[in-house]
Amino acid sequence: MTADTLAKLTALTKKYARIDYTDDDDLVEIMVDAVVESMGEVIPGFNADAMTGRQKIILFKSVKDLYDDREKYGKEKQQLKIAASSMLLSEIYEPKAVQTDG
């Protein structure tokens, strides 16, 4: 992922998560990087520099969840990556409710 892509994704993620201050910019950037790495491991053909809209939403939601629970995960990139991978796998393999008419 290019530095420009990382900066853009970090800014969009902050907007999505409603983080209006710069105090945690370094932490949010680490979280974005960790989630993107995890996405690359579980999504075939994933390209961080050309993410689909759906992939961006998964990124934003995953980072927001990590950020909201940051006391639990800390600032260690490997720990964040494990948490992100776990969230991504549950998103992929979680059974979806089947909608029925009636």
* Count: domains in the chain: 1
Q: Note whether residue 34 is domain-resident.
A: yes
Q: Note whether residue 74 is domain-resident.
A: yes
Q: How far apart are CA 20 and CA 9, in angstroms?
A: 15
The predicted structure's pLDDT at residue 24? 87
Report the half-sphere exposure of 29 (CA within 13 A, side-chain side): 13
The predicted structure's pLDDT at residue 5? 93
Ranges of residues in the chain whose predicted pLDDT is under 70: 73-102
Q: Note whether residue 95 is domain-resident.
A: no
Q: How far apart are CA 102 and CA 100, in angstroms?
A: 6
What pTM does this model have? Answer: 0.71
Q: How far apart are CA 91 and CA 86, in angstroms?
A: 9
Instruction: Domain of residue 38: give its range.
Output: 3-90
Q: Note whether residue 64 is domain-resident.
A: yes
Tokens 């979680």 appear where? 94
Query: Terminus-to-terminus CA distance in the chain, angstroms?
Result: 47
Q: Note whether residue 101 is domain-resident.
A: no
Residues 6 or more apart whose CB falls under 8 angstroms from that of 41 comprise 85
The predicted structure's pLDDT at residue 90? 62
The predicted structure's pLDDT at residue 30? 87
Q: Note whether residue 97 is domain-resident.
A: no
The predicted structure's pLDDT at residue 31? 87
